[in-house]
Amino acid sequence: MATQKIVILGAGNVGRALGAKWSASGHQVSFGVSDPAGKNAQAVRAELGSSAAIGTIEQVLGEKPQIVVLALPGGAVEEIVQQHAQQLDGLMIIDATNRVGEDSMHNLSSLQRLAPQARLYRAFNTLGWENFADPEFNGVQADLFYCGEAAETRSQIEQLIAEVGLRPIYLGGIEQVGLLDALTTIWFTLALKQQKGRHLALKVLGI
């Protein structure tokens, strides 16, 4: 895959872990944040230096990225998308957020309504950020499940997953989002409720 211009909305643990891997792979990575002088933005500068740009959401979306990754708190996504719908519409958007404790964990319905021409994927939501930073377990590569369009952009997202160090497992079109979010619930149950630790991932055998 050619070098991509990737915008990550949010600069928390998930966004920084993904941005570090993609920046190391040669992509042009920018972080869109509400406060470019805030704590998370400062953490990006400390961890990535000049290899990633930081700006307001409006600024980085104005750079016309090919890919936008939503790595915000799940409950903040709808308002952000509503504010920037025109800039987001038509782009490839990856929803990596989780609306923990709500009826629906994803934000795809809002994205479909507000940015109807966007190419939507759901990925990077089934694992804690620690598994993006360190995706191997005793030499075994963890799997990352995703769903979304089966068009030409699917190869792009699989390459992005592989560059993080994970093996992509495709569950089907965006209508399979419920399956994906069920896997997220399994991860939360094992890692947090059963206190097995956040460096925990899932593996499909036989394929």
- What are 130-173's pLDDT values in tens digits? 999 999 999 999 999 999 987 778 899 999 999 999 999 999 99
Class of domain 5-193: alpha beta
pTM: 0.95
Listed residue (24, 81, 22) closest to 57, CA to CA: 81
Give the chain's mean pLDDT: 94
Q: Are 143 and 201 in contact (CB under 8 A)?
A: yes
69 contacts 15 by C-beta, under 8 angstroms: yes
Delimit the domains of the chain by residue range: 5-193
pLDDT score at 71: 97
Give the pLDDT confidence of 20-76 residue by residue, as tens digits: 999 999 999 999 999 999 999 999 999 999 999 999 999 999 999 999 999 999 999
H/E run at residue 136: strand 136-137
Beta-bridged to residue 114, according to DSSP, are: none
Calculate mean pLDDT across residues 7-30: 97
